[in-house]
Amino acid sequence: MQVEVSRRRFLQGSVALSIIGGSVGASSIFTEEKEVIPERKKVATLCEMCVNKCAAWAVVENGILKKLDPNPLFPKSKNMLCARGDAGVHALYDPDRLKYPLIRVGEKGDGKFRRATWEEAYDAILNGTKLFKGMKQILDEEKDNRSTFGYCAGEGMGEHTFKQFMGDMIGSTNFVNHSSICLKTTTAGYALTLGAYGKADLENASYVIMAGANRAEAILTPDTMDMFKRTRGRGLKLIVLDPRYTNTAQHADKWLGIKVGTDLAFVLALTYVVIKEVLYNRDFVTKNMSHFEEYKQHILSNNYTPEWAEKITGIDAETITTIARDFMANAPKAIYYQGRRTAWSLQDFQLRRAQAIFSALGGGIDVKGGIVFGTKLPLGEHTVDVPIYNNVKQRIDKNEATFIGPNGTWIGFRNMIAEKRTPYPLRALFSYKQNPMQAVPNIGKTRKMFKNLDLVVTIDTMPSDTVMMSDVVLPECTYLEREDPVKSFGGVEPAIVLRNKVIEPLYETKALFDILKGLSHKIAKPLFEISAKYDEALKETLAEDGFDDTFEDNNFDLTLAFEHTQEEINKERVVSEYGEEAYEMLKEKGVFYPHMDKYFKQLSENEYEYYPEDKKYYTTPGGEKLDAQDTCIDEKEMAALKKNFGTKSGKVECYLTTMEENGQDPMPTWRDELYNEAPKGKFKFVTGRHAQQTQNSTANNVMLLDVMRENYIWINKSQADEKGIKYGDIVEVKSSVGKIHIKAYPTIKIIKDVVFYVHGFGQESTGLTFGYRNGASDNMIIEDTIESVFGSAAMHETLVEVRKV
């Protein structure tokens, strides 16, 4: 990067930023005196700086992105773009970003690579080098077991494309994504109980219990802002449970400093009060809850009283009773907020089930002001024919928890490879848009996993810690340099959005679609030859039809999946459902939904209407309808209408026979043996997010580091005083799996026996100028504890010691 200053603009006191080198072009430090009229355009795009995917306008001058502005047309993001969205400019022009393919030339992990062409990189993936084996040799040695190639991906609009390529086309069953280190227990708990995860209608709720979610600091989205416009006596009563007094707690009517890992006991006690005092919506329960009588007896017979919960949670019984009564008094516009965080404890799945059932007792499901499901606008299908491989084996981690789905368990998967106890050799890992070295608890074990692999291929935009453990690195262009798959966002106000390419890819980077297309040309036939060698069923087909016809007619030619461009596929999917005019609108504006031209209105300076109130999808179709002539039905009666939940019974599931059949509790049940308090001299460690950082992906973004330079450890002030720890002191934090050094923040805003610091810092990659060893990584000390139902990482079960250095 270099700052270019013209004589005239220098005298005017303004400075223009330009990027020198690459395909952007170069110029002298002093420009001509004459004014040059820039070629200026605005391109509709979609942010990728966090999971929310806000719509934006990219302002481009002469091929250079100048700034990103919010696009008000998207109902999900309204007219908002947060600090992370603005910082997408630096994601594009980060001087440390990966610029060309790399092939390892040193020891694995030492960060020594040579620059390569794309053809050389593809050849290294197929045939290996003197330092590592390629796909061809590995697959031959494993006799055509495609599952020897593992693959992982982080959240993003290209995840499906990558997963389809590695799973359906290459043929591996061993996929892991972010779900088991993110929301798996929460989404599964709600889906199995209510039929879907749903969304909290914070804009219309009148009472919200928010536990462990720090919306005011962790995710600044429009629904966050809508909620805080109504707190502090303006229509929404907010109760916050958190070991820390956060910015969210500052907006609450009541903050409860709950003990770490005891949330389930709190919810069960609320449920006890509601059932004992018959405060629940009886009509809703009768029509919409399955096995309620069993659940009622379960709660009462286990004596889950507020007095019982007080001893566990540290929250007094009177407060628990009052909250239970107030919640039901405000129902159905009352929500026990689902959460957007990873699993906290070993009992996390049952906690989420208990939350869902408790909200349902008030009738606050599939109703305005409660948990809503809405609808999703359909997109046309684009199908790809895939081959059949007969020697593929089942995934390696299928027995690491009770239910292991297609997304796997990251800790279980990683541990099996690190500890060399897989049922068959898993020898390669393809990683896309994920940084397992910093994302998975117990970094030491993750390092062992990578060292035990024969081939590691990483597709990324930045030289992450995982890149440093790779054999071949393929540089993806940033989200601003590509068109991604068109996406439909469901909800109360559904819409279809498109991420347009803003500028051409810089350096030698490529979009994921083009990376996989190039790789398919290199590997398709050589890998098919190995299948032909070991696949007995395939040998019969070859004998009848010959090599070339079998290769093409049975879909082994992987290049056929890339006959159409991403742009052509997107157009096909939209036009087939909505026509050419809709596609043109989507392409131009980045957003489309039926009647958008009629529905969308600007109401004030920064307020918009997307759907008329009577056109919003507050309830899902298929349930009991209101009599159009009856205008006297109140909210509780409306909530009690017969619903159509997506569960097995079509109702809220209080009792899950599937769990019982697999040795898990069929109803939310507190287990003393799964809860441990911090012993004297130790602390429970908790971690969390910050709105100015996105996991570990923004660790090198100077625009965001300017807002939050590094992370500090929160420690209760009285306990810090006992240890002689003052603000800014360097302390050592040590667990059973590792230790870190970090600056201290003694405060009264965290309860005793708990310490906290934000996730996303402490990178070890020397390729990150600004992120390298900046602050501390939480996964260096978080123990690899997994809950038993879905194999999710229980990230708040780690005990640590803290001492001043």
Q: What is the 3-state secondary structure (H, E, C) of 109-128?
A: CCCCEEECCHHHHHHHHHHC
* pLDDT recorded at residue 634: 63
Burial of residue 576, with CB atoms counted within 10 A of its CB: 0-12 exposed, 13-18 middle, 19 or more buried: middle
Please report the sign of the dihedral spanned by the C-alpha atoms of residue 411, residue 412, residue 417, residue 418. Answer: positive
In the beta sheet, which residues pair with residue 788?
none
Q: Shortest CA distance to 323 belongs to which of 235, 253, 259?
A: 253
Distances (CA, A) of 95 to 99, 241, 303: 9, 42, 61
For residue 432, what are its two tokens?
């896309």
What is the C-alpha separation between 160 and 156, in angstroms, rounded? 8
Over residues 540-598, the pLDDT tens digits come to: 999 999 999 999 999 999 999 999 999 999 999 999 999 999 999 999 999 999 999 99
For the segment 294-315, the average pLDDT, to the nearest whole number, is 98
How sure is the predictor about 208, in pLDDT bands with cuts at 50, 70 and 90? very high
What is the C-alpha separation between 194 and 367, in angstroms, rounded? 13
Name the one residue in this structure whose structure tokens are 């495609």.
146
Q: Shortest CA distance to 164 belongs to which of 381, 398, 451?
A: 381
pLDDT over 50 (residue 378): yes
How sure is the predictor about 9, in pLDDT bands with cuts at 50, 70 and 90? very low
Lowest-pLDDT range of 206-215, 271-280, 685-694 = 685-694
How sure is the predictor about 292, in pLDDT bands with cuts at 50, 70 and 90? very high
Lowest-pLDDT range of 559-563, 642-646, 663-667, 751-755 = 642-646
Q: Shortest CA distance to 459 belongs to which of 51, 138, 151, 107?
A: 151
How sure is the predictor about 270, in pLDDT bands with cuts at 50, 70 and 90? very high
What is the C-alpha separation between 765 and 225, in angstroms, rounded? 36
pLDDT over 70 (residue 19): no
Name the one residue in this structure whose structure tokens are 């993936």.
125
Over residues 258-269, the pLDDT tens digits come to: 999 999 999 999
pLDDT over 60 (residue 26): no
Gyration radius (Cα) of the chain, Å: 27
DSSP run (H or E) holding 455:
strand 455-460
Over residues 214-229, the pLDDT tens digits come to: 888 878 888 888 888 8
Task: Tell which phi-psi region holds residue 579, choosing left (phi > 0), alpha (psi between -120 and 50) or beta.
Answer: left
What is the C-alpha separation between 151 and 161, in angstroms, rounded? 13
How sure is the predictor about 20, in pLDDT bands with cuts at 50, 70 and 90? very low
Q: What's the pTM value of the predicted model, to 2 decimals?
A: 0.92
What is the C-alpha separation between 583 and 323, in angstroms, rounded? 49
pLDDT over 90 (residue 4): no
For the segment 617-643, the average pLDDT, to the nearest whole number, is 66
Over residues 144-188, the pLDDT tens digits come to: 999 999 999 998 899 999 999 999 999 999 999 999 999 999 999
For the segment 616-629, the average pLDDT, to the nearest whole number, is 70
What is the C-alpha separation between 148 and 135, in angstroms, rounded? 9
- Other CB atoms within a 10 A radius of the CB of residue 535 amount to 19
How confident is the prediction for the chain on average, in pLDDT? Answer: 92
What is the C-alpha separation between 57 and 46, in angstroms, rounded? 8
CB 782 within 8 A of CB 737: yes
CB 24 within 8 A of CB 4: no
CB 795 within 8 A of CB 344: yes
Q: Shortest CA distance to 596 belongs to which of 580, 579, 613, 582?
A: 582
404 contacts: CB under 8 Å, gap ≥ 6: 395, 397, 398, 412, 790, 791
How sure is the predictor about 643, in pLDDT bands with cuts at 50, 70 and 90? confident
pLDDT over 50 (residue 11): no
* pLDDT recorded at residue 638: 65
Q: Are strands 55-61 and 64-70 parallel, antiparallel or unpaired?
A: antiparallel
What is the C-alpha separation between 754 and 747, in angstroms, rounded? 12
What is the C-alpha separation between 96 and 701, in angstroms, rounded? 10
* pLDDT recorded at residue 692: 72
For the segment 440-468, the average pLDDT, to the nearest whole number, is 97
How sure is the predictor about 13, in pLDDT bands with cuts at 50, 70 and 90? very low
- Percent helix, strand, coil in the chain, to 5, is 35, 20, 45
Q: Shortest CA distance to 803 belongs to which of 757, 748, 742?
A: 742
* pLDDT recorded at residue 24: 34
For the segment 506-521, the average pLDDT, to the nearest whole number, is 98
How sure is the predictor about 2, in pLDDT bands with cuts at 50, 70 and 90? very low
Lowest-pLDDT range of 7-11, 526-530, 699-703 = 7-11
Across 24-28, 342-346, 474-478, which has the greatest mean pLDDT? 474-478
Lowest-pLDDT range of 124-128, 338-342, 793-797 = 338-342
For the segment 316-336, the average pLDDT, to the nearest whole number, is 97
Segments of 724-792 assigned E as strands? 730-734, 739-747, 754-758
Distances (CA, A) of 184 to 71, 177, 305, 638: 31, 10, 29, 31
pLDDT over 70 (residue 633): no
For residue 706, what are its two tokens?
């300017």
Q: Residues, the chain, total?
A: 805
pLDDT over 70 (residue 8): no
Share of the chain above pLDDT 90, in %: 83
pLDDT over 60 (residue 631): no
Over residues 436-448, the pLDDT tens digits come to: 999 999 999 999 9
* pLDDT recorded at residue 65: 97
